[in-house]
Amino acid sequence: MSENKLIISADKCVGCTKCVKQCPFAALEMDGKLAVVNDSCTFCGSCVDVCPTKAIILNRAEQKGVDLSAYAGVWVFGEQKNGKIQSVVLELINEGRKLADSLDEKLSVVVLGNDMDAACQELLEYSVDYVLQIDAPELADYAAEPYAKVLSDIVSKRKPSIILAGATSIGRSFLARVAVEVKAGLTADCTGLEICEKMLHQTRPAFGGNIMATILTPNHRPQMATVRHKVFKEATKNGGCGGKIEKIAVDDNKLLTSRTKRIEFITDNETTINIAEADIIVSGGRGMGKPENFALLEELANALGGAVGASRAAVDSGWIPYSHQVGQTGKTVGPKLYIACGISGAIQHMVGMNSSDTIIAINKDPDAPIFEIASFGIVGDVFEVVPELIKAIKNK
Partner 1 sequence: MALNIVVCMKQVPDTTEVRINPETNTLIRDGVDSIINPFDTYAIEEAVRLCERVEGSKTTILSMGPPQVESSLKDALSVGADEVVLLSDREFAGADTWATSYTLAAAMKKLKPDLIITGKQAIDGDTAQVGPGIAVHLDMPQVCYVSKIREINDEVAIVERLLEDGHEVVEVKLPAVLTVVKEINEPRLPSLKGKMKAKKTAVTVWTNDDLDTDPECLGLTGSPTQVSKIFSPPKRGGGEMIDGENAQEKAETVVAKLKELQVI
Rounded to whole angstroms, the Cα distance separating 6 from 43 reads 7
Neighbours of 383 (CB within 10 A): 15
Site string for partner 1, 102-141 (x = CB under 8 A): ----------------------------------------
**Alpha carbon of 231 to those of 42, 167, 191, 246, 337: distances in Å?**
29, 11, 6, 29, 15
Q: Taking CB under 8 A as the rule, does residue 159 contact partner 1?
A: no
Residues 376 to 395: which contact partner 1 by CB under 8 A? Answer: 376-381, 384-385, 387-389, 391-393
Rounded to whole angstroms, the Cα distance separating 50 from 57 reads 12
- Site size for partner 1, by CB under 8 A? 111
Q: Taking CB under 8 A as the rule, does residue 195 contact partner 1?
A: no
User: Which segment (90-98, 107-115, 156-164, 347-355) binds partner 1 by CB under 8 A?
Assistant: 347-355
Q: Taking CB under 8 A as the rule, does residue 351 contact partner 1?
A: yes
Site string for partner 1, 81-100 (x = CB under 8 A): x-------------------
Determine contact, residues 309/297, Cβ cutoff 8 Å.
no
Residues 266 to 325: which contact partner 1 by CB under 8 A? Answer: 266-268, 271, 274, 276, 280, 304, 322
Rank residues 133 and 187 by Cβ distance to partner 1 and give the closer one: 187
CB of 121 to partner 1, least distance (A): 25
User: Which segment (8-16, 142-150, 153-161, 287-295) binds partner 1 by CB under 8 A?
Assistant: 142-150
Residues 22 to 61: which contact partner 1 by CB under 8 A? Answer: 22-24, 26, 38-46, 50, 60-61
Rank residues 94 and 323 by Cβ distance to partner 1 and give the closer one: 323
**Alpha carbon of 85 to those of 123, 171, 275, 393: distances in Å?**
9, 13, 18, 35
- What's CA 345's distance to the chain center, in Å? 20
The closest of 170, 210, 166 to 190, measured between CA atoms, is: 166
Rank residues 22 and 114 by Cβ distance to partner 1 and give the closer one: 22
Neighbours of 393 (CB within 10 A): 11
246-249: list long-range contacts, CB under 8 Å, 24+ apart: 246/130, 246/131, 246/132, 246/133, 247/133, 247/134, 247/135, 248/132, 248/133, 248/134, 248/154, 249/134
CB of 173 to partner 1, least distance (A): 4
